[in-house]
Amino acid sequence: MSKDINQSNPLSAYFRAPKMYLNIPSSAKFYSDDIVTMPESGEFAIYPMTTKDELMLKNPDALLNGEAVSNLIKSCVPEIKKPKLLFSADVDAILIAIRGASGGDEVEVNAECPKCKELSTVTVSIDSSLTTMESLDSEYTKELSNGLTLVSLPFSYGSTIKAGLASFQSTRSMQAISELDDDMERLKAFAPRDMSQKLRYCSEETVPEVAIRERQMGQQSLGWSQLNINQ
């Protein structure tokens, strides 16, 4: 039925079509079906941005709370249903691919020479950048001196948003303190209790749960437990 509609619609030739296909760094192996719909080919179709998408990216509030990027990904990559639950590495790759699908393969960027520190403009190929990107490992481990092994995964995009919001709120608080004329008012605003609460908020909002695997007598783990940073 849909094919018949497309054939009879004189505007069907102007419908959006995928401009490129992308295999994200995680290969979507960490996500459930309610987060992404994995294509049979393993590559996600990338559609170019619409005018609505471009207007959304000019909204400061939508950029700050992540809605602009989330809606952009859902518009240009329909198989992704919950962008905020993706890893930040996947989101970065998707945004680069959307830029390539919308504006062409070549992008001019400002780069600083690591030796002479001179700033120059270079042309970068998006396709080459995506081709050479590294894949994510199944897990990342860190051996501690007490025999425990921390097993973690990369930051999610949702955690990145929360970290950005926490940084924004901290900066705004510091600006408000600097505008106070009374020293006593500044001391009250800088009270240890208030600062500890703000630091605790930043930790709770940005640090995910970490899995701890015990090692004893040099042997493999005897069990798994969850360490919640909020407790």
Give 156 or 207, the one with higher predicted confidence.
Answer: 156
What pLDDT is attached to residue 78?
Answer: 92
User: How long, in residues, is the chain?
Assistant: 231
What pLDDT is attached to residue 216?
Answer: 39
H-helix segments, the chain: 2-8, 51-56, 60-64, 67-76, 88-103, 126-131, 157-178, 183-189, 192-206
pTM over 0.75: no
Encoded tokens for 11: 């505007």
pLDDT tens per residue across span 169-218: 777 777 777 777 766 666 666 554 455 555 555 555 555 444 444 443 34
Closest CA to 130 of 105, 158, 163, 112: 105
Give 40 or 209, the one with higher predicted confidence.
Answer: 40
What pLDDT is attached to residue 8?
Answer: 64
pLDDT averaged over every residue in the chain? 76
pLDDT tens per residue across span 98-132: 999 998 888 888 888 888 888 888 888 888 888 88
Burial class (CB in 10 A: 0-12, 13-18, 19+), 173: middle
Encoded tokens for 202: 């930043």
Distance between CA atoms of residues 17 and 5, nearest Å: 16
What pLDDT is attached to residue 7?
Answer: 54
The share of the chain scoring above pLDDT 70, in percent, equals 72
